[in-house]
Amino acid sequence: MVINVKNLVKRYGDLIALDHFNLAVQEGEILGLLGPNGSGKTTAINCILSLLKYDKGTIEIYDQPMSPEAYDIKRQIGVVMQNVAVFNELTVYENIDYFCGLYVSDKQTRKKLVAEAIDFVGLNDFTKFYPKKLSGGLLRRLNIACGIAHKPRLIILDEPTVAVDPQSRNNILEGILKLNRQGATIIYTSHYMEEVEQICSRIAIMDKGKIIAMGTNEDLKKMIKSGEHINLELLNPEHLDLSAIKALPHIISAELTDHQLVVKSSRGKNNLIMILDHLKDQNIGIGKIYSEPPTLNDVFLEITGKELRD
């Protein structure tokens, strides 16, 4: 077990930031911690890293109790904080060298590792730049390089793509997958469900300081009743009997906006064929059709009754 958190409780006065939080992370996986802002993701990460005192519970990393003085454990962890944590007074190279040097004392080894980290995040052309001269995306990449340069076994990334342009975001996500392929276990927190779905092998959905659901992307979607979302462009919607559509089996809701019919179905087979047959019977022409599988937002919505991005 890489991380084993049991019954973690963290209070800020009357506010319970973590409410008997449990988490188990296996070697080699990418675990996504997904939750809206304020759900307790960063608090959980800070407690795991011993940056915050907590009121109750236990945290073990690599089967050893984690504490501020657990230097052997810290040596195996790479951290990429939510806020960029670099020295504005040091160049890109100096920053990576500084953070790598906190873990690796041998100068030659460090030189090699720093070069690899620079190469990994694609900052080769910016090594002599000071952070203030870098764009938001490049700065995030520097932040990641500083966190992973020492080749840690466990990498914790706390919302590393906040305020990053789509191109840089894709680079970062590809990089994370690459690190995982190289053998690192990764914890990735985000409130962007698409990112989590894209890269995580297992996802833990958090709300109000608790994990409310956990599993693979598919497992989570199987947990809910909602099935696919069927979108149809109708050529002659005036002939549509919306109540008849709603009365069909497995249909949860149906809404017509202009020429666009959106039908939400519950889990079941042949829902699309059934709707198409019904429309054909009513002589309603169809322009475009597309079907969306349920998202993590649907999972979150069904469990909590609110949108993930509320």
The answer to whether 224 and 273 are in contact (CB under 8 A) is no
What distance in Å separates the CA atoms of residue 236 and residue 124, rounded to the nearest whole number?
58
| 88 in contact with other proteins (CB under 8 A) | yes
One-letter amino acid at 86 equals V
Among residues 86, 172, 184, 261, the one that binds other proteins under rule CB under 8 A: 86
Q: How far is the CB of 87 from other proteins (least distance, A)?
A: 6
Burial of 41 (0-12, 13-18, 19+ CB in 10 A): buried
Question: What's 210-246 look like in SS3?
Answer: EEEEEECHHHHHHCCCEEEEEEEEECCHHHCCHHHHH
Q: How far is the CB of 85 from other proteins (least distance, A)?
A: 4
Among residues 15, 37, 64, 85, the one that binds other proteins under rule CB under 8 A: 85
Nearer to other proteins, 63 or 69 (CB): 69
Q: How far is the CB of 266 from other proteins (least distance, A)?
A: 45
Quick one: how far is CA 234 from the chain centroid? 36
Nearer to other proteins, 66 or 232 (CB): 66
First to last CA, the chain: 34
Residues numbered 93 to 132 that lie near other proteins (CB under 8 A) are 94, 98-99, 101-103
75 sits in the region (left: phi over 0; alpha: psi -120 to 50; else beta) called: alpha
Among residues 33, 84, 92, 240, the one that binds other proteins under rule CB under 8 A: 84
What distance in Å separates the CA atoms of residue 295 and residue 69, rounded to the nearest whole number?
41
| 283 in contact with other proteins (CB under 8 A) | no
Among residues 37, 58, 87, 182, the one that binds other proteins under rule CB under 8 A: 87
What distance in Å separates the CA atoms of residue 79 and residue 106, rounded to the nearest whole number?
21
Q: 38 is written with which tokens?
A: 């304020």
Nearer to other proteins, 127 or 260 (CB): 127
| 2 in contact with other proteins (CB under 8 A) | no
> Cα 195–197–213 angle (5° rounding)?
120
What distance in Å separates the CA atoms of residue 209 and residue 175, rounded to the nearest whole number?
29
Nearer to other proteins, 46 or 271 (CB): 46
Nearer to other proteins, 53 or 269 (CB): 53
| 44 in contact with other proteins (CB under 8 A) | no
What distance in Å separates the CA atoms of residue 123 and residue 25, rounded to the nearest whole number?
31
Nearer to other proteins, 154 or 240 (CB): 154
Q: Which stretch binds other proteins (CB under 8 A): 70-78, 165-173, 188-196, 199-207?
A: 70-78
Instruction: Report residue 86: phi and psi, to 5°.
Output: -135, 165
What distance in Å separates the CA atoms of residue 284 and residue 239, rounded to the nearest whole number?
7
| 64 in contact with other proteins (CB under 8 A) | no
Q: Which stretch binds other proteins (CB under 8 A): 45-53, 168-176, 198-206, 297-305?
A: 45-53
Q: How far is the CB of 33 from other proteins (least distance, A)?
A: 17
Total interface residues for other proteins by CB under 8 A? 30
Q: Which run of H or of E encompasses 71?
A: helix 71-74
Q: Which stretch binds other proteins (CB under 8 A): 46-54, 176-184, 233-241, 266-274?
A: 46-54
Residues that bind other proteins (CB under 8 A): 46, 49-53, 68-69, 71-72, 74-75, 77, 79, 81, 83-90, 94, 98-99, 101-103, 146
